[in-house]
Each structure stands twice: as structure tokens, then as C-alpha cells.
Structure 1
């Protein structure tokens, strides 16, 4: 079977790439940057620049000193704080999700969007559309499977997406449209900035052979390239002619097959919806640090910034990871090492983290990596949180319900004792009796003014009872004997109110006899409180 017979043309993938993303964000924040050559600085590196700066030959990751020689008027904006970039990036992703739920983030400035379902719907209504934007290769030869019509409609949708991003966020983009992710990413870089390009399946091989280097294929990095080069594979044609069998000893069976398919423009990988990041981290390179106090100060700075990112994310991390890059002055080699540790999610309760305890964990990890009794030289420190869990929804939890119920009932009881008119009830107020006597009905106290100290005492009475409760399943209204209950739970309230007082009491006594097995709460609880109960679990996690 030919390798081309394995290709699937049924999908339509759009690759959206934001033009000089960091620079655009800075230009939106400060419009004066639009008219000058702008570089984004991180440490002593220009990580990216706007297109005015690129006209002077400035490239990504160029040293600032070298960039200044090429462009003496270069304006630099500090890009070490990624907060605004992250926020803008997620806004772009949210806009893309209006067109498909299959949106896969690729860094901060790139996204894949699978619009196959949307296109199939649009083609049912109308197929009379023309290509919008640039075309890679010859488009005269059409495929019988209908992919030409689908990809043509894809160019229309890509333009709609780019217009939406431009209008809503004032960001320009490039787009690549193809039947798979690989081709969409490669062809999108053909015409920049603020343009889009489509490649049809019949031109896929031509596009791949036009690549200058194997590293232009996504998935082939420097290490893989050196492995291929070691066996004489240096070009796309070499990769195609080498075959899977030649690649397997180097890359393994699975990766060998994938890389070989890539050389023909075949990519079977799906667009995987991207949720929240699996880790949130920061790294900071620095001049050689050899004092523990300086290490702690740097890590505290990173932790403060990291906690802000975690708060924005909304999830609770369960693991913290420390990264340290050590420099060996003897052999002039740097070495990265990481350690991680579980942390108690309760440290992040009430929207604030216990920084002291977290720092203790971080420094413990540092001492596992570095022997502080010996000379050391640190050139990079990094912190990250991983293994997140969603925060508990306490709004509708059992514990929050019980707390609200107790508070409401105690207020009702207090109001009754302050002279608020309430119908007589044979049910005594818990706030006016000892908890151990809760089973024995007694007359309600006569209404009278209570002092503030009495109100506090009654409030504490409820809190003490609540804390010592053995199980939330036993906190029934009838058992608590609160004044707001005017009739037994299994009786009709309207009918109950019409009965004489003596009959009401008789019904209550009958109800209590039937429930006597469940009314031994206080006598067992007050003597032997059980800390590992369901209710206490809710309290601890609140």
C-alpha cells in the first residue's frame, strides 16, 4: 500500500499564529511603540521584536548588545513578566472556541483549530465560495474526495477568525489551512505578517520538498536532526528514501513511522482540546549565586509571582517543583537538576497561601540538590506548581448548609426571646436549655430583652454543639428542637396549627417515641467527641 493511500483528507485544520506576539501586546499597552523599532527584552536577550526592528536585521534571541549595533534606535520593553501575555493568549483561545471546541494551544501565540464540523454544516447551505488569501502550489488539480471544497470553505472561516481577533483584541495573525496539523503549521509561515495561505493535498509533497532543512519539520529538533545526520539523512528526500526500517534503530518504531510520514506531509495526529495548563512555573536566570541567603531571596521573589498566577488560574496545586542550574567552574559546564515534593492543598485555602510553610518545603528541596557546606554556583532558579485539583464548591456543600441552617435557627430563637411574636409551640429552644436535655421538651422561656453577652453565649451554644456533632446525618431539625419547627416533620403544618395545644403535645410525644432511637445525640457526643467524622472533614476543608 502506498504511503499516500494512508492519508486522510476529511479534516480541515486552521493554524493561527499571532504576529510578533509579545511586541503586539506591548504596542497595545503603549501605542507610541507602534512607530518605533521595538524589542522585547528578557535579561540580556531580545526574545522578539516588531517588524520595524526586523527590517534592521534583528532576530529572535539576539544579544541586546548585538541588536543595538544593528539598530541604535532600538526601543526595549521589559518582557520578563508574562502576565499580560498569558492573559491575552487565553483571550485569543476563547475567541477560537466560538468556532470549534477542538482548539489546541501551542505555546502562547499559536493555536490549532479543527473546523471540520463547522465546514460540513456550511457546505450543506452553500458550496459556491472562492479561496480567500494565498495558495501554496498548484490548485488546478482537484481531489475526488471533496477536500478542495472543504479547504476552500476553510479559508473563508480562517479570514473570519482573523478579523474577529483583529477587531476584538487589536492583534494581527497569520493562518495556515490544510487537511492536517503538520501542513497547516508549515504553510501558514509562507506569507507573513497578517496573511493566510492554504495548501491542497495534491500540493503537499511539493510543499515538503521546498523546506530548506529537516529542522523546519515540526517534531524534528536539534537532537533528532543530529541522530538522522549521523546515518547520512540530511534532506527531506534522504528522509523519504531512507524508509522506516532505517529509522527504527535510531528513533524507535513509533517515532520512526511518524517522522517518515511527516516527510511526505502526512500527519494523523488529532487536534486535542487544551484545558488549563498541567503546570504553572517561572524560571529566572541570574549571575552566579553562591550564598544561601541570596538563593532564598530569589526563590521568594519567584514564589510571590507564581502565587499570583495560581490565584488567577483558580485551581489548587498539590505538588511543587524546584529547578536549579548549577555551573561547574572546573569544566565550564552547566547542569540542570530538579526536585519535587507534595504540598498540602489546605495551604491555599481562603485565597491565600501560607508562604512560610511553602518556602520551608522549597528550601528543603534546594538542600537536597545543593550541599551548602561545599562551594556552589547557581545560574538559574525555577519554581513550578503541578498536579492541580479543582477547589471544593463549598457554596452548596453539606457543611455550609448546616452552618447556614444553624445560624438562621439561632437568630429566630433569639428574636423570639426578644419579643418577636411567634405562635406557641411545645418545642423548646435549644438556646434556652442544656444540650444534654435536648430530648426532654420543656416550656419556652418568656420573651424578654437579652443583653449582648447573652446573645454571644447563645451563639456559642450552637457552635459548640455543631463542632461536637458526631455525624451531619444526625443533625435533624427535630433533634435540635429549634423554635422555628412548629410541628413534627411528618405532620401537616396547617392542620397541626388548628389542633388544641394538648393534642399538639400528644402528637409530639408520639413522634418522639417513634424517633427515640435517634435522639441520643448529646449524651454520647459530649463525652466522646470523634474528630474523624464526616462533619469535621467538611469543617477542615472549609
Structure 2
């Protein structure tokens, strides 16, 4: 049975796609180097809390490494330039810019971000389109068409050879008497085209943005990500055929490539999962701790796992049982160990599912301290909302202007702006600090509690400064929510505060991926904001409703424990301006760490934010408040039509 499953799994690989993986070189340090080019030749380390979360290659050449303590880094390299990286805004903005730059070249919008510094591109349709126009008698003078509708837009290339390094190295070309049939096969030729497209995109990225990248080209996200690591930095690698074993029993290149990797290096197999597998193969518990370099005695290769007696999906299920992974995880892991990854490159989402901002503290135990921290968090949240949920207006109906006066109002819109989406719900979450242990250390608490309410409509204004809106949001909404979350004024000692805007209502936009009807634009009423958004001013006429409303909200607690590395079942990336603990700092900043396939958006679990409804006096229908204006306009249009003699 195990042998049969192993054989079946090995036959499921799909080599019909061409996937390109971009990993921006030393991305976080590169952001600072782009701002200040003088840093390019200096050792640069990015600090968060007391940790070197990443450093550039010059710093690594001088002995620095990621996840060092700052004091150790300064001791190792006294002339290191330390830059603060706790505010992720500039990295998020740079990541969005690079994502948008690459996306404009790719057909079908199959461009998926992984964290801030990685992007997957599914270029299958581009490769298939160009492959059909190749002149096999003159491959040297080929032309890659970048625009399906304009054959003059593109670049010239030599389709007789791979562009850049390959794995295995020294691949032969498709030219001449000694042509390798595998290179001239459909897969081989498509990979050649993929290598030239990747090279073109790399150089366009560097020329127009100043960022360099390490790139991998293969037929799945798993293989493209892994093979790119073979030649770093500022380079690319193509995993070339033959991918499958030959009739003579010789291993295919996928098996040869994967079997040399340590099991923990495989994307989708995190530290905890890898340690379970290592323990079974070694017959003992590995001695290496999290974030320590793996010792040679603890190293277990993919080849060793695959060749272990009776190893297969069922065996892996038994090894991983009780670890919190989903059912049949053994089959998924077995597929990964055999180079099988059918996951699609997801089309990039224009609108995030939620925007979440948080920070961690040694201890916050007074309402004055809470108000101070909320001021910073609220300002950051509103800035993120303007950055992620607005765009330039396209016509007069889209105009939502913001002005700057001598009092210091920000010109938030800088001309014409409109909202792409409106969050329905505002959520505040906290995490308490547990009492110290006998040795004086504080145990980590993963339990969070939260309260939610409808987001107030004034936050969508373009006519007030961020600071003014944040102050009002704190006093009218966040502080009342916080008091309900922690009614005992002297009983809380907080180590984390998080605020989030969730449950997005997406409006129609200029992007092809935009969803929903732009009702405001239909009725030329775009300056209005959703009527479902309520003010939480306790002195307002809504106070009684709000009290009833908040009393019904589920104060759910989430076990947001940190999974050190993203295993197969891991959740989505937390949209935070700052990370929570030293442990989380290491996770969020290790750009060369092994990741699972995760979206950049966190799915919101709030279900307590249904908009209030009102009964229409004309037809008796229950209409959500945010649609009341549109519904009233509908009745006025109908009455006009009837008045003109049309049938109702």
C-alpha cells in the first residue's frame, strides 16, 4: 500500500507550467541603500528591538549574520552602519512598487507576493504564445513578444541556448550537431524561453527601480524557489530537463537536485515538522535549537528521508501525528519531497482582506499609557488605509480632495482621490503579560482577546489631517472599546495592543480585478461614505444602540502563537507595522528563510459586524444602511418613469 501511494504521488507532477520566482537581494537593506546610495559600499545592518534582523552582503562578508544581537554585531564589525527598521512602512511601500512593476509585464495577472521580498510569476501563457512562433531553423535570431496585441513590443534573444546559469551546470545548447533531445523538447524549449524572459525582467527591474534580484525558473513554485538559491545574489538559475528518470534507471534532474537538500530547506516544511522527521530518521532528538545553525550530525537530507525503509505518505502521517497538522499531511509532505507542488500562482489581490497594526511592550498598565500607544497605532492604521485602499480619481465624479492649510493639515489626496474599498469593522485586540516564573522570566502568552464595532464614517474623510482623525478615533471609538475589553481599570498589564480595519467592502475600480458595483459613481455621489459606519461618541443619540451592540459582540480570544517557520497549514502573514516579540521579529525579517505558500493578506475572522438595516417606507423591504441612498434613488427613478407614461 505504501509503495503504491509512493508511486502514485511520483506520477502527479505537472510540468505544463513555467514559473519564475523573484527574491529581491538583501531587500530590507536595499531599501535603505536606495534612499542613500552611499550605503551600498558600507556594511549595513537593519535593527529591530536589539536584533540584527538582516544585513547586506558587505556586512556578511565582514562576519555579520542575521539574528545577531546588536552588541555582538558591533563587536564583530565596529564600523557597521546600524539603521532602524521597526517601522515597516517603507518596506511595504517598496514591495508594492516592485510588485506593480513586475505585474505590468505579465499576462493574466498571475503575480503572487510572498512576504515583502519574494514574488512568483506564472508566465505559462506568455511562453506558450511565443513558442509557437519560433523558427527552429534560425533560433539565434528569435524575438520575444511582450504584448499579445502588438508584435513589435518585446526583445530579441537567442533561443538556441539557456540564458544564465542552469542546474545542473554547463547545460548544452540546442544548436548544432550535438543537440540534446531533452533541450529541444517542448519542456526544454519552454524553459529556454522562460530563462530569457527572467533575464529581461531582472535587468528591467534593476534599470528602472535600482533593485536587484535572484531568480529561479522551473515548472512549480517549489522548484523555482529552490533552484534560484543555487546562484546568489544578482543572478538566475534554470532547472533543466530531463525532469523524470530515464529508461536506463538514471535519476532525473529533479530527484538529483532535491535529494541533496536538507529536509528543513524544503519550502512548506517548517522547523517543527523537519525536527519530527529528523528525529525519526536519526533515531534521536536533534540537538539543534530554533534559529541555531544546523549541526552536521543533525543534518538529514531529502535523499535520506526518501530512501528510509518503508518511507511514504502513510509513514509520514504516523511520524507527524499529534503535531497539529491537518489530516493526510503525510501525502503533502511526500509530494514536496518528490518535487510535486501543484499550488497555483494566485492573481494578486488589489484590496487586502484586513489592515492590522500592532506593537509589543514590556508592560502597559494605565489608561494614559494605552492612550499614548493607541495614538501611534491609530495614525499608522489610517496611513495604511490611505496607502492601500485609495487611488487617484479618474474623472470629476471621483473627486475627493484634501487641502493643506497653514495649520498643518495634510493634503492626503494631493489632488483627486477615491476609496477602492471601505472596511466595515474596527477591532482592538490585546495580550496580557503573564506573572513571572520563579526564576524571574516571563512565560510567553499567545492568548489574545478582542472587541469589534462598526468603523466610524469620519475616518474616510480627506479633509482632516491623519493626526486629527486619529485623535477623534481614539476618544470616540477605541477608548470605549478598550474599556469594555478591560473593565477593571487596575487589572490589566498588557504586552501587546493591536488595532485592525477588517471586513472590506470593495468598490469598482480601474483594475481588472476590482469587484462590486460602484454605486456612488452610478449616482454621482462619490463623496459620500458608507452610511453603515457609526460614530461611537457615547454622548450621541446612538449611545444606547452602541451599548446594546457592544454587549452582543463576541470577545473571542485567539491563540496567536507563533509558528517559527511556515508549515503547510500555516496561516497568512500578519499585516503589522511592528512585530510582537523577538521570536516574531526573527520570523518576519528572515527573508531567506524557508516559507510556506502564504498570501500577503490575513483573512479576517470577525463575524460581528453586520450593518444595521432599516425598513423602507415605500416598499417595506429591509435595506442595509449603506445602501439606503441607492435604494431611495431607485424609487425616485421608478416614479419618474411612471410619470412619463411608462409601465411600473
Are the structure 2 counterparts of residues 185 and 471 from structure 1 closer, same or farther at C-alpha, using a change threshold of 3 Å? Answer: closer
2:321 is aligned with 1:246: no
Q: Deviations over 1:441-468 (max 9, x none)?
A: xxxxxxxxxxxxxxxxxxxxxxxxxx99
| Structure 2 residue matching 1:335: 3-state secondary structure | coil
Alpha carbons 2:366, 2:490 under 8 Å: kept: no
Q: TM-score, normalised by structure 1?
A: 0.70
Q: What is the deviation of 1:224?
A: 1.9
**Number of equivalenced pairs:** 421
User: How far apart, in 2, do the equivalents of 1:131 and 1:340 lie?
Assistant: 56
The worse-fitting range, judged by mean Cα deviation, of 167-176 and 314-323 is: 314-323
Judging changes above 3 Å, is the alpha-carbon distance between structure 1 residues 316 and 396 closer, same or farther for their aligned structure 2 residues?
closer
The TM-score normalised by the length of structure 2 is: 0.59
Instruction: State the partner residue of 1:26.
Output: 32
Specify the structure having the higher radius of gyration (Cα).
1
- State the 1:384 CA deviation: 2.6
2:263: which partner in 1? 214
State yes or no: 1:4 paired with 2:115: no
For 1:478 and 1:257, the matched residues in 2 are separated by: 62
**RMSD, aligned α-carbons:** 3.4
Give structure 1 regions of 4+ aligned residues with deviation exceeding 6 angstroms: 476-479
In structure 2, the residue matched to 1:432 is: none
Out of 51, 68, 86, the position equivalent to 1:62 is: 68
C-alpha distance in 2, partners of 1:25/1:137?
33
Instruction: State yes or no: 1:328 paired with 2:434.
Output: yes
* 1:227 and 2:276 are equivalent in the alignment: yes
**The residue matched to 1:387 in structure 2 has which SS?**
strand
Correspondent of 2:101 among 95, 100, 125: 95
- Of 330, 335, 338, the match for 1:264: 338
Bigger relative contact order, structure 1 or 2, given CA contacts below 8 A and separation 6+?
A: 2
Distance 1:2 1:394 in 2: 51
Where does the alignment leave 5 or more consecutive residues of structure 1 unmatched?
A: 404-466, 480-488, 491-513, 519-542
Match of 1:312 among 369, 384, 387: 387
Q: How does 1:134-153 map to 2 (within 5 A)?
A: 134-137=165-168, 139=171, 142=182, 146-153=186-193
Deviations for 1:241-283, whole angstroms, at most 9, x for unmatched residues?
Answer: 4211112242444422111111111111111112033232223
Alpha-carbon distance in 2 for matches of 1:160, 1:326:
51
Task: Provide closer, same or farther for how the CA distance between residues 373 and 160 of structure 1 changes in structure 2, counting only shifts above 3 A.
Answer: same
Question: Contact (CA 8 Å) 1:325, 1:334: kept in 2 or not?
Answer: no
Kept in 2: contact 1:9–1:145 (CA 8 A) = no
Specify the alignment match of 2:123 in structure 1: 115
Question: In the alignment, is residue 237 of structure 1 matched against residue 237 of structure 2?
Answer: no
1:43, CA displacement in angstroms?
2.3
1:163 to 203, 214, 219: 203
1:31-430 aligned at under 5 Å gives the runs 31-97=37-103, 98-100=105-107, 101-126=109-134, 128=139, 129=159, 130-137=161-168, 139=171, 142=182, 146-200=186-240, 201=243, 202-211=252-261, 213-232=262-281, 234-240=300-306, 241=308, 242-249=311-318, 250=321, 251-275=325-349, 276-314=351-389, 315-331=421-437, 332-338=442-448, 339-344=450-455, 346-351=457-462, 355-357=471-473, 361-363=477-479, 366=482, 372-373=488-489, 376-391=492-507, 393=518, 396-398=521-523, 400=525
Alpha carbons 1:48, 1:61 under 8 Å: kept: yes
Q: 1:322 to 1:238 in 2, by over 3 A?
A: farther
Q: How has the CA–CA distance of structure 1 residues 473 and 219 changed in structure 2, closer, same or farther, with 3 Å as cutoff? A: closer
Contact 1:287–1:379 (CA<8 Å) still a contact in 2?
yes
Q: Which whole-Å CA distance do the structure 1 matches of 2:525 and 2:498 have between them?
A: 39
Query: How far is 1:117 from its partner?
Result: 0.7
Aligned to 2:597: none
CA offsets per residue over residues 143-172 of structure 1, 9 Å max, x none?
Answer: 786211111111100001111111110111
Contact 1:341/1:361, CA 8 A, preserved across alignment: no
Identify, as 1 or 2, the structure richer in helix: 1
Q: 1:345 to 1:14 in 2, by over 3 A?
A: farther
Report which stretch shifted further, 102-111 or 22-31: 22-31
What CA distance in whole angstroms lies between the structure 2 residues aligned with 1:20 and 1:473? 55
Distance 2:276 2:483 in 1: 37
Answer yes or no: is the 8 Å Cα contact 1:347–1:354 preserved in 2.
no
For the residue of structure 2 that corresponds to 1:313, the secondary structure is: helix
Shift of residue 208 of structure 1? 1.2
Assess, with a 3 A threshold, how the Cα gap between structure 1 residues 475 and 368 changes in structure 2: closer, same or farther. Answer: closer
Q: 8 Å contact 1:290–1:376 — kept in the other structure?
A: yes
Partner of 1:303: helix, strand, or coil? Answer: helix
Whole-angstrom CA distance in 2 between matches of 1:25 and 1:152: 32
Q: Aligned equivalents of 2:363 and 2:634: distance in 1? A: 60
Give me the whole-angstrom Cα distance separating, in 2, the residues matched to 1:103 and 1:20: 21
CA apart distance, 1:38: 1.1
> Does the aligned pair in 1 maintain the 2:378–2:473 contact within 8 Å?
no
Whole-Å Cα distance in 2 between the matches of residues 86 and 309 of structure 1?
A: 10
Q: Distance in 1 between matches of 2:236 and 2:632?
A: 63
Cα offset for 1:107?
Answer: 0.7
For structure 2, list consecutive stretches of 5 or more residues without a partner in the other structure.
1-6, 140-158, 173-179, 244-251, 283-299, 390-420, 508-516, 529-627
The answer to whether the 8 A contact 2:281-2:305 is kept is no
Q: Distance in 2 between matches of 1:473 and 1:55?
A: 68
Deviation, 1:475, is 4.8
- Which residue is 1:440 aligned to? none
**Aligned to 1:215, what secondary structure does the other structure show?**
helix
